[in-house]
A and B are shown apart, each in its own frame.
Chain A
Amino acid sequence: MTGSDLHSQAAGSPYAPHTDEERTAMLEAIGAESVEQLFDIPEPVQFDGEFGIDARSERETRALVRSILERNDDLTELLGRGHYGYYVPSLVDHLADRSEFLTSYTQYQPEVSQGFLQVLFEYQSLLVELTGLEIANCSMYDAATALGEAATLADRVRSVSGSRVLVPDLLREGRRSTLENYVAGTDLVVEEYPTEDGGVDYEALEEAAGEETVMIYAENPTVRGTIEERLGEIGDLATETDALFVLGSDPVALSLLQRPVDVGADVVVGDASVLGLPTSYGMGLGLFACREDYLRQVPGRLVGASEDATDRRAYTLTLQTREQHIRRERATSNICTNQAWVALRTAMHAASLGPSGMVELAKRGVRRAETLAERIDELPGVEAPIHDRRHVREFVARVDGSAQAIVADLEERGYAVHALGDHELQICVAGVSDEEIDGFVEAFSEVGR
């Protein structure tokens, strides 16, 4: 029997240390006869403690979780559409799992939290460089909630009496639905504007945007992997209509594509955990950056530099009067617990790549997606990509046969891709090795299309 199996013999929590003697001594000090006596719970609402959950040893618990998760099929995923499985270097796991990073709380005592505050400060700086905007907070939950927060920011800062939030009709349902919930308590109304050939239909957007518009949202790249060509015009349109231009992106795409500040973006949102987290069933890191004008209206925590009593530079959470624990119902957001540890991982992954690695990763995303599209396009019954645009990371293909049937056939052969509607597939190369891509092309050539 191993040491951790032995723990299962003790009735109680293996992480609560008292011996019987200590418990007795503590009760004596308190002047109580039993632990039960310390509880002040009226009899009618007392519970007998029987949840029907068996205790397990550490070994048994690990085996249980392993046995459950092993029921997942082991597929090579060529999946994206907002969540990506880039390779995360080992140093990220090893360093992020250092106890002090993992087991500390929010930095309410900055004097003992300098290390974490500095990493978050460096994370904010990374986003400032990538977006060109002056302010980045140290995390929202994910891209969808960051978009929701951007809309409530627009509601607060726009003086116009409008209520319309314009989003592309391609917007992922999860982001759209989350946005709807965030604006439910405001007068804002979410409306779709059309896209054309996988990108913003600028003329239609121009027609849709008017004085009543408080926010225009676009993504670059789009959920279909296409690169937007008319961002600058959207920025100008937002300026003309006094709407907030909110741009969705991520740190890899931002390393190569047009800088948000250069196209007139007021706010950048997105999933920053494309760097730092492996595929995690959708767990993310909400990127939130904005112009300095909105500093006092930013949601979430901000780390700033200051000085300590020895006049050395030191970091601290700052401008906390925006936050719920001080401002309560007048706070800029209700967020408290955030994704700080994921931001730490993202900062580490970005630092590990360095600027040359980040730019190269994005360039490879363009080259490999376009090369794979060409290879697939050669197969009978397939057109790829279907959009006459440049792509990064992923693209959409049209198939003559049933997309669902093809996806099912590919799963049988060990590969996962997206089915969109009846005759479209979306295929992503992020985190997929060259060998895996070759294997996929071979499998794809074998299935009925």
Chain B
Amino acid sequence: MSGPSTGADGDANDRARYDQARYVEGDQYEPLLSEKDLTRVEIDDEDDDSPLPDDLTRDSVELPELSEPELVRHYTRLSQMIYGIDSGPYPLGSCTMKYNPKFTEDVAALSSGAVHPDRSESSVQGTLELMYRLQDYLGRIGGMDAVTLQPPAGAAGEFVGIRIAAAYHEHNGEGHRDEVIVPESAHGTNFATAALGGYDVVSLPSNDEGRVDLEALEAALSEDTAALMLTNPNTLGLFERDIEEIAEMVHDVGGLLYYDGANLNALLGRARPGDMGFDVMHYNVHKTFATPHGGGGPGAGPVGVVDELAPFLPAPRVRAGDGDAGYELFDPDHTIGKVHGYQGNWLVLVKTFAYIARLGDEGLLDASAKAVLNANYLANRIDYEVPYEPFHHEFVASAGEQDAADVAKRMLDYGVHPPTTKWPEIVPEALMTEPTEVESKDTLDRLAAAFNAVAEDDDETLEAAPERTTARRIDQTSAARSPRLSWQALGEDES
């Protein structure tokens, strides 16, 4: 029997070894804060210092009360039990895990930018100028006429797009349009966003080449079509070569064409959604413009539109006033209103601006070049089959007879983050891989070696993986069957 450690050590000594940090205390890893201390603080108006009567206050609060050194060790240990892009390659397809330049944290931390959203416009000219200039940058990059920075994430940007489509059709006396068309292989958010907007979702199958099936599109389009949501390159990394015809078909029935910006990194400087006939798009700045993902967020999902849709953008927008008037906020004539309480994720927008200003034309063009070069090189080096070509910034390999989720778990043992798995479903046992431009040839070679080592592993080894990570394989069924979502629930369960 091949022990579970055989593969990870490998036959050759030159293969990288990896052991993730792991603090262990009995039947757990780093204990919860609540297991280190729980202190109950009573609130009572008998006390001299309670400023409110008891009927306006709670009785007590029970939380951990720990010293700063204890807390710093707790969080430092926890951070060591996390794999980030700064730890190693992170080729999650569709997620564009780029290196996040350190200096952008410094500019986001500038105290001059830390202002309250209700400040007078004249007293926050710097903030408004940065927003104005970022809108301009994004408009140029996407080929769009007007941009809002308000949506706090990609899905929120999609929602703005869908609400703009609704307002636009309503404005034109076409409020009856109740369908949004989404390709089968699209991001889940497209479906969910269209549904949140109240639309019926029409799912569009792909053709044999993995692209939009024009006949199916023709059949799906009608006077009920509000919009078609499209990612280009699509989730297989393929450019929708018929994009001009698709745009014409959608526009012919009076629909709008929405661009999901998740894969924009592939096209930087080489093609622009606005030039392809898209009417509205979102930018995932946490993907394309390298702002950190922070374990799930915050991101930002600015939305760009063509002139005709600008009057429907969220309020307020920023514009340069006449002469010396400076920058000012205004509400577009037919605005859909707001999708965030204020102006979105400001700190993320500062980092976005800094990244674009740092790279400029040459840097952005180089990013797409190397993102596509890296994806092609990596695909060429791995033993798994890649059924659809020619892909750009990402490719979808098939794990074949292996279970893609197991492949991912095993890859963790080689000190690399695995690709996105089992999606898009058009490829059996999908390994959706996006190395991005930031990986060196050496790193790609090591990443390929990890893929190829796992490709040789037997099922037993795969099912036992991972073994070198902080936690071993986690029981998902147990987590869902008896949800324990707080330390309070844990107490009940374990007592």
Q: Which residues on the A side are within 8 Å of B366 (C-beta)?
A: 11-13, 16
Are the C-beta atoms of A344 and B294 separated by less than 8 Å? Answer: yes
Q: Does A379 contact B (CB under 8 A)?
A: no
Task: Give the docked Cα–Cα distance between A55 and B337 (Å).
Answer: 35
Q: Does A91 contact B (CB under 8 A)?
A: yes
Stretch at the interface among B7-15, B54-62, B213-221, B451-459: B54-62
Stretch at the interface among A157-165, A203-211, A347-355: A347-355
Q: Among residues 31 to 80 in chain B, which have CB atoms less than 8 Å away from a CB atom of chain A? A: 32-34, 39-41, 43, 49-52, 55-59, 61-66, 68, 71-72, 74-80
Are the C-beta atoms of B297 and A341 separated by less than 8 Å? Answer: yes
Taking the closest CB of chain B, its distance from the CB of A432, in whole angstroms, is 12
Q: Does A309 contact B (CB under 8 A)?
A: yes
Q: Among residues 202 to 237 in chain A, which have CB atoms less than 8 Å away from a CB atom of chain B? A: 227, 229
Taking a contact as CB atoms closer than 8 A, the residue among B55, B61, B100, B191 that contacts A129 in the complex is B61
Taking a contact as CB atoms closer than 8 A, the residue among B95, B155, B294, B359 that contacts A55 in the complex is B359
Are the C-beta atoms of B100 and A102 separated by less than 8 Å? Answer: yes
Are the C-beta atoms of B372 and A39 separated by less than 8 Å? Answer: yes
> What 1/0 mask marks residues of chain A from 397 to 426 whose CB sits below 8 Å from any chain B CB?
000000000011001000010100000000
Interface size for B (C-beta < 8 A) is 200
Q: Which residues on the B side are within 8 Å of A340 (C-beta)?
A: 294-298
Q: Given A35-B372, A329-B195, A337-B299, are A175 and B140 also a contact pair (CB < 8 Å)?
A: no
Which residue of chain B is the closest to A140 with respect to CB atoms?
A: B152
Stretch at the interface among B248-256, B342-350, B396-404: B342-350
Task: Give the docked Cα–Cα distance between A47 and B342 (Å).
Answer: 35
Are the C-beta atoms of B115 and A139 separated by less than 8 Å? Answer: no
Are the C-beta atoms of A174 and B338 separated by less than 8 Å? Answer: yes
Which residue of chain B is the closest to A54 with respect to CB atoms?
A: B360
Taking a contact as CB atoms closer than 8 A, the residue among A68, A73, A229, A334 that contacts B155 in the complex is A334
Q: Does B125 contact A (CB under 8 A)?
A: yes
Task: Give the docked Cα–Cα distance between A80 and B163 (Å).
Answer: 30
Taking the closest CB of chain A, its distance from the CB of B342, in whole angstroms, is 2
Q: Which residues on the B side are within 8 Å of A41 (C-beta)?
A: 239, 267, 270-271
Taking a contact as CB atoms closer than 8 A, the residue among A85, A100, A107, A174 that contacts B340 in the complex is A174
Task: Give the docked Cα–Cα distance between A42 and B247 (Å).
Answer: 14
Q: Given A53-B361, A111-B409, A111-B474, are A35 and B39 also a contact pair (CB < 8 Å)?
A: no
Are the C-beta atoms of A110 and B471 separated by less than 8 Å? Answer: yes
Q: Does A46 contact B (CB under 8 A)?
A: yes
Taking the closest CB of chain B, its distance from the CB of A355, in whole angstroms, is 4
Q: Does A388 contact B (CB under 8 A)?
A: no
Identify the interface centre among B65, B192, B297, B438: most chain A CB within 10 Å of its CB: B297
Q: Does A141 contact B (CB under 8 A)?
A: yes
Q: Does B479 contact A (CB under 8 A)?
A: yes
Are the C-beta atoms of A40 and B241 separated by less than 8 Å? Answer: yes
Q: Which residues on the A side are within 8 Å of B306 (C-beta)?
A: none
Interface size for A (C-beta < 8 A) is 190
Are the C-beta atoms of A306 and B479 separated by less than 8 Å? Answer: yes
Q: Given A114-B29, A118-B78, A340-B297, are A145 and B340 also a contact pair (CB < 8 Å)?
A: yes
Q: Does B92 contact A (CB under 8 A)?
A: yes
Taking a contact as CB atoms closer than 8 A, the residue among A46, A97, A129, A324 that contacts B271 in the complex is A46
Q: Does B188 contact A (CB under 8 A)?
A: yes
> What 1/0 mask marks residues of chain A from 117 to 134 whose CB sits below 8 Å from any chain B CB?
011111011101110001
Q: Which residues on the A side are within 8 Å of B112 (C-beta)?
A: 66, 69-70, 72, 74
Are the C-beta atoms of B298 and A339 separated by less than 8 Å? Answer: yes
> What 1/0 mask marks residues of chain B from 261 to 293 whose CB sits below 8 Å from any chain A CB?
000000101111001100000001010001011
Q: Which residues on the B side are within 8 Å of A141 (C-beta)?
A: 152-153, 156, 298, 340, 345
Taking a contact as CB atoms closer than 8 A, the residue among B133, B188, B474 that contacts A325 in the complex is B188
Q: Does B426 contact A (CB under 8 A)?
A: no
Q: Which residues on the B side are within 8 Å of A339 (C-beta)?
A: 152, 296-298, 345
Q: Does A257 contact B (CB under 8 A)?
A: yes
Q: Given A112-B20, A282-B343, are A302 and B417 also a contact pair (CB < 8 Å)?
A: no
Q: Which residues on the A side are within 8 Å of B390 (C-beta)?
A: 38, 40
Q: Among residues 322 to 360 in chain B, which have CB atoms less than 8 Å away from a CB atom of chain A? A: 336-348, 350, 353-354, 356-360
Task: Give the docked Cα–Cα distance between A64 and B353 (Å).
Answer: 10
Are the C-beta atoms of B114 and A279 separated by less than 8 Å? Answer: yes
Taking a contact as CB atoms closer than 8 A, the residue among A72, A118, A319 that contacts B127 in the complex is A72
Taking the closest CB of chain B, its distance from the CB of A393, in whole angstroms, is 12
Are the C-beta atoms of A109 and B238 separated by less than 8 Å? Answer: no
Taking the closest CB of chain B, its distance from the CB of A391, in whole angstroms, is 10
Task: Give the docked Cα–Cα distance between A324 and B119 (Å).
Answer: 37
Are the C-beta atoms of A331 and B472 separated by less than 8 Å? Answer: no
Taking a contact as CB atoms closer than 8 A, the residue among B109, B125, B130 that contacts A93 in the complex is B109
Q: Given A72-B112, A124-B486, are A144 and B99 also a contact pair (CB < 8 Å)?
A: no
Q: Given A112-B470, A181-B163, are A129 and B63 also a contact pair (CB < 8 Å)?
A: yes
Which residue of chain B is the closest to A369 with respect to CB atoms?
A: B51
Taking a contact as CB atoms closer than 8 A, the residue among B55, B115, B295, B362 that contacts A77 in the complex is B115
Q: Does A52 contact B (CB under 8 A)?
A: yes
Taking the closest CB of chain B, its distance from the CB of A378, in whole angstroms, is 20
Q: Does B473 contact A (CB under 8 A)?
A: yes
Task: Give the docked Cα–Cα distance between A411 and B76 (Å).
Answer: 42
Q: Does A238 contact B (CB under 8 A)?
A: no
Q: Which residues on the A side are within 8 Å of B107 (C-beta)?
A: 61-62, 65-66
> What 1/0 mask marks residues of chain B from 451 to 495 whose CB sits below 8 Å from any chain A CB?
000000000000010100111111110111001111111100000
Q: Which residues on the A side are within 8 Å of B133 (C-beta)?
A: 68
Q: Does A184 contact B (CB under 8 A)?
A: yes
Q: Does A243 contact B (CB under 8 A)?
A: no
Are the C-beta atoms of B143 and A47 separated by less than 8 Å? Answer: yes
Identify the interface centre among A79, A324, A358, A367: most chain B CB within 10 Å of its CB: A324
Q: Given A71-B129, A181-B336, A337-B153, are A15 and B61 also a contact pair (CB < 8 Å)?
A: no
Are the C-beta atoms of A284 and B276 separated by less than 8 Å? Answer: no
Which residue of chain A is the closest to B56 with respect to CB atoms?
A: A227
Are the C-beta atoms of B56 and A257 separated by less than 8 Å? Answer: yes
Are the C-beta atoms of B56 and A15 separated by less than 8 Å? Answer: no
Are the C-beta atoms of B127 and A99 separated by less than 8 Å? Answer: no
Taking a contact as CB atoms closer than 8 A, the residue among B123, B275, B483 that contacts A75 in the complex is B123
Are the C-beta atoms of A295 and B85 separated by less than 8 Å? Answer: no
Taking the closest CB of chain B, its distance from the CB of A429, in whole angstroms, is 13
Are the C-beta atoms of A358 and B61 separated by less than 8 Å? Answer: yes
Q: Which residues on the A side are within 8 Å of B122 (C-beta)?
A: 73, 411
Task: Give the docked Cα–Cα distance between A42 and B299 (Å).
Answer: 31
Q: Given A38-B390, A65-B354, A336-B189, are A330 and B195 also a contact pair (CB < 8 Å)?
A: yes
Taking a contact as CB atoms closer than 8 A, the residue among A40, A56, A182, A337 that contacts B298 in the complex is A337
Further 7 A-B residue pairs, CB within 8 A, beyond A72-B124, A284-B342:
A16-B366, A53-B360, A69-B112, A111-B473, A258-B58, A325-B187, A337-B155
13 pairs across A/B with beta carbons < 8 Å? A15-B367, A18-B440, A50-B361, A62-B107, A102-B84, A104-B85, A110-B471, A122-B33, A125-B486, A141-B153, A308-B474, A315-B474, A355-B65
